[in-house]
Amino acid sequence: MKTGFALLNQHWKEAFLVSKRQLDQEIADHTRDFKRVAQIHEREEEALRAKLAAMTQERDDMFAYARSQNRQLKAGSLNVPMVMNFLNQHQTRVVGNWPRLKTLLEHLRDHRTPPND
């Protein structure tokens, strides 16, 4: 009986050790797979962060460009004082409707709509 018990005990110890090795191997496999997936996730996350930073910078650049264009539009594309100085340079005589041109330029400088007359 002692021999039968010893054989059964040995058999179950071996079965336990085989099961334990299998479980340990599965745990190691799962741990390795998890680490690999975590590394892939970190690389993808870093790539997305870099892409987000680039797109944010591009958006900020576009907003800055739009603001500068808006300021330029509000300022007018024509520098009225410089045009008037150019026309008055060296007592230049402008042939035609100089008072009307001067009035239009003054209205443009002051951001007012010119009169219809």
pLDDT digits (tens, 9 = 90+) for 41-86: 999 999 999 999 999 999 999 999 999 988 877 776 667 677 777 7
What's the mean pLDDT in 94-106? 74
Q: Is the pLDDT of residue 99 over 70?
A: yes
User: Which token pair is 36?
Assistant: 């690999």
Question: Where along the chain do its domains lie?
Answer: 1-75, 78-117
Report which residue type is found at 21.
R
Cα–Cα distance for residue pair 47/12, rounded to 1 Å: 52
Alpha-carbon Rg for the chain in angstroms? 42
DSSP string, 37-52: HHHHHHHHHHHHHHHH
pLDDT at 84: 72
Mean pLDDT estimate for the chain: 86
Q: Is the pLDDT of residue 35 over 90?
A: yes
Q: CA angle, corner 61, sides to 57 and 66, nearest 5?
A: 150
User: Which token pair is 104?
Assistant: 């239009």
Residues of the chain above pLDDT 70, percent? 87
**Structure pTM?**
0.49
